[in-house]
Amino acid sequence: MATAKRKPLIAGNWKLNNNHLEAIALVQKMAFALNDADYDAADIAVLPPFTAIRSVQTLVEGDKLRITYGAQDISQHEKGAYTGEVSGPMLAKLNCTYALAGHSERREYHHEDDAVVNAKVKAAFASGITPILCLGEGLEVRKAGRHVEHTLAQLEGALKGVTEEQVRTLVVAYEPVWAIGTGEVATPEDAQEVCAALRKRIGELYSPEAAQQTRILYGGSVKSGNVAAIMAQADVDGALVGGASLDADEFVKLIRAAVQG
């Protein structure tokens, strides 16, 4: 089967870093370094904390930057008595392109299970936001050799009720939990094994054509020095980057290394 061309996506998840002033400084520095060839080669996104999204929006729209942005989480609810939550319509009003759903840190520290993640994925689509669905196994599961079945079960749980049309635009991020923020990177072959299995299962659940369109990212200690080998894998379409996205010079270097090839 001919492989459709998927534009790489390099997304920087800032996690709990950068107030709105620091966010402006970081995006300005990125914008100063990036050029049209970079934007043509990859979609480039930042995922600031909620409090900085408005500042990033103002900068991006005011200067017509080709950097896209999104949120690190999205409520499964649209409105009502849900203290602390931020809804899809609120994020859409800020012109967010993406929202993470099911990041392992949300699953671990906020006890989000597959049903909640599924509701968040659907909430994002309902507001015209592209969910970046995060999946991945912990160390115990990896050691037991059950990483593929574990990640596929998370995928199936998160996609209940998601249509084929939606899944074509979905972004999936495979992030082995043991490789997040630890300096421990999965080998390119480890990343490919799971990303290929995810694409195959999307093909079985929907259609091979849809599976060829879904972008699948790898995340977990991705840096400018290791991204090229990961991106060289057939089923890896980009990276979800934590720590290395907090430094503009390193992030731009990483983006360029990711698309050279």
Q: Minimum distance from CB of 36 to ligand G3H (Å)?
A: 27
221 is in an annotated binding site: yes
The reply to whether 10 sits near ligand G3H by the rule CB under 6 A is no
Return the number of the residue (161 or 181) whose C-beta is nearest ligand G3H: 181
The reply to whether 242 sits near ligand G3H by the rule CB under 6 A is yes
The reply to whether 48 sits near ligand G3H by the rule CB under 6 A is no
Compute the Cα dihedral for 65, 125, 73, 81 and give only its sign: positive
> Six-digit token pair at 182?
């630890």
The reply to whether 216 sits near ligand G3H by the rule CB under 6 A is no
> How far, in Å, CA of 142 to CA of 112, rounded?
20
Amino acid of residue 246: L
13 is in an annotated binding site: yes
Indicate which single residue of 162, 211, 222, 252 sits in contact with ligand G3H (rule: CB under 6 A). 222
14 is in an annotated binding site: yes
> How far, in Å, CA of 256 to CA of 75, rounded?
33
Contact, 219 vs 12, CB < 8 A? Answer: no
Is there a catalytic annotation at residue 103? Answer: yes
The reply to whether 181 sits near ligand G3H by the rule CB under 6 A is yes
> Six-digit token pair at 234?
């057939």
Q: Could you give the angle at which helices 147-158 and 188-205 cross, rounded to 10 degrees?
A: 40
Closest listed residue to residue 219, CA positions, set 171, 259, 161, 260: 171
The reply to whether 225 sits near ligand G3H by the rule CB under 6 A is no
> How far, in Å, CA of 10 to CA of 41, rounded?
10
Burial of 76 (0-12, 13-18, 19+ CB in 10 A): buried
Q: Pick out residues in 84-103 that bind ligand G3H (CB under 6 A).
A: 103
Indicate which single residue of 38, 112, 114, 175 sits in contact with ligand G3H (rule: CB under 6 A). 175
Of 105, 112, 137, 175, the active-site residue reads: 175
Is there a catalytic annotation at residue 22? Answer: no
The reply to whether 238 sits near ligand G3H by the rule CB under 6 A is no
- What residues are labeled active site? 103, 175
The residues binding ligand G3H (CB under 6 A) are 13, 103, 175, 180-181, 219-222, 240-244
